[in-house]
Amino acid sequence: MAMSGPAEGTAAEPGRTEPFYGAHQSGITSGTQGHTILAAFDLAADSDREDILALLQDWTSLAAALTTGGAVSIPALQTSSPERADVVEDSPRTDSLEADGLGPQRLTLAVGFGRSFFRSADGSGRFGLGMRLPPALVELPQFEGDALDRTQSDGDLLVHACADDLQVAFHALRSLDRVAPGIATLRWTQAGFSPGDGGGTPRNLLGFKDGTMNSNLHPPGDLEATLWAGPEGPAWMHGGTYLVYRRIRMKLESWDSLERGEQEQIIGRRKVDGAPLGQPDEFSPLDLSGLDAKGNWWIPPTSHVRVASPEVNDGALIVRRSFSYVNGTTSEDSSSGPSQALEYDAGSLFLGYQKDPRTSFVPIYSKLSLVDELRRFTTHTASAVFALPPGASGRGDWLGRRLFT
Ligand code: HEM
């Protein structure tokens, strides 16, 4: 196993470090950092188990070193292919240094496996792992209103970096990418941002607090029951979780034209303080049967929080961790020519973690996609599901080890 670790250059700075080793991967229940980058990789068709093992070992030891804020030395990948060995041996081994002196910045790094890691589109197994595909690692159904860009969706492997500094997160991703030549190539990347968790629940681009209930900041009580995979699935996933990623574009121009009261009816919470309608403050419980003076439900029947809440979804829960994104501007209808007004391609990177998407994301979003009033202002444009194995327990252990042993 090629080890990496803090090398020459900057010593790790104290504080602002998120623990990397542990029973679960970091960046799931951690606080919300200011920046995120998601990157999906596809494995070369001629990669084999040894290549993938070496890659996961190197990613784990590199990630452990990067999260301490120290400089890293990029190890040579142990590849079974003579052609690739040349590429790998020739690559420079030193830290690229763009994060030099920036410190750990609460950097978290998580790694996940997509369905296509285990099986090809025709159902045949890959890398001898076809039978180890976890049943919970489902292909999502086509939901009402989906407009997915497949080039920005799915993937064999996920690397998810979060940090309070974008350059630190990007450096971490690039460092992992630099040990993957010929084995795994980037399929898509997506950057996002958040006001972070320093000033209370962060606001999304609709201007509402997002993360008050059932989120990484305010998780549900029993995470073993809702978040962490257990004995109901394969042993190698115990302590892991399943991530559903959705890039959700917001029609900000239309949203901005609504009165605040109309926006609040659509969400079901007050904009200024995040309180559920009819309740005094942000953390008051939702009162789904509460009536206003006219006898109408305070929280309207098709409002987002009512339709998403566990009370109306047979208790189905999801742990959310959301960031915003801005991918510039785009013309809604390019056939209309250059005079067509540009609109923002901006919205939310929805990250929903659960022990089984079949009983969490799928039923909740099946209903939301049909009923939620917010759907008039949002379009899902990218999607992926990844199995995030349990954390690495310490030096010498590596992410995904139990899948291969
Ligand atoms: C751009 C899209 C979305 C926006 C802007 C949005 C916004 C919000 C806001 C403002 C809240 C209330 C505050 C809070 O509890 O955090 C909320 C709650 C929630 N949302 Fe979303 N959301 C979006 C998409 C989704 C999707 C796709 C799901 C799918 C599962 C979802 C599930 C939930 C759940 C489960 C709650 C908590 C309900 C409760 O227990 O009170 N949201 N969302």
Please, what are the averages of pLDDT over each run of 10 residues along the chain (405 residues)?
39 67 97 96 92 95 94 79 71 87 96 98 94 97 98 98 96 95 94 90 97 94 96 97 98 97 98 97 96 96 98 96 95 60 93 98 98 98 98 97 93
Ligand 1 lined by 212 (C-beta under 6 Å): yes
Cα–Cα dist 324/208, whole Å = 12
pLDDT for residue 342? 86
Whether the CB-CB separation of 191 and 35 falls below 8 Å is answered with: yes
CB half-sphere exposure, 58, CA atoms < 13 A: 27
Ligand 1: centre distance to CA 264 (Å): 13
Ligand 1 lined by 211 (C-beta under 6 Å): yes
Closest CA to 161 of 57, 20, 53: 20
Q: Counting Cβ atoms within 10 Å, is residue 102 exposed (0-12), middle (13-18) or buried (19+)?
A: middle
Ligand 1 lined by 255 (C-beta under 6 Å): no
Closest atom of ligand 1 to CA, residue 305: 38
Residues 6+ apart with CB under 8 A from 404: 49, 53
Closest atom of ligand 1 to CA, residue 205: 5
* pTM as predicted: 0.94
Q: Could you tell me the two tokens for 232?
A: 């109901």
pLDDT for residue 4? 42
235 phi, psi to nearest 5 deg: -60, -35
Cα–Cα dist 384/40, whole Å = 9
Q: Could you tell me the two tokens for 140?
A: 């999502």
Ligand 1: centre distance to CA 405 (Å): 38
Ligand 1: centre distance to CA 362 (Å): 14
Q: Could you tell me the two tokens for 152?
A: 């920005």
Ligand 1: centre distance to CA 340 (Å): 32
Closest atom of ligand 1 to CA, residue 361: 30
Ligand 1: centre distance to CA 73 (Å): 41
pLDDT for residue 15? 43
